[in-house]
Amino acid sequence: MSKKATKGFKAVKAKRKCCKDKPRCQACPLVLKRLADADLAVRLDLRRYEVAKKVPKPALAAARTR
C-alpha cells in the first residue's frame, strides 16, 4: 500500500499503548478504532490509519471519552 494519504484524509500512526489520559489523546489506538467504526477513518494495517481531515467535533469528543 501507498504511504501517502488519499485526498480528504490524513495519515496517522497510532501509539503503541494508551497513556491513560482523560480525555484520550488523538493518537490513542482506541480513539482511532472508534473513528474507524464510525466510518471517519480507514485502517491500513496494525497501527496506521487514514483519518478524515474534517472530523465533526462531537464525533471526536465521543471517541476520546474515557
> Domain boundaries in the chain?
9-64
Angle between helices 57-64 and 29-37 (to 10 degrees): 130
| pLDDT value for 2 | 54
Each residue of 34-62: pLDDT tens digit? Answer: 999 999 999 999 999 999 999 999 999 99
pTM: 0.87
**C-alpha cell read off for 48:** 496506521
Going through the chain in order, the beta strands assigned E by DSSP cover 9-13, 41-43, 48-52
Distance of alpha carbon 52 from alpha carbon 41, whole angstroms: 6
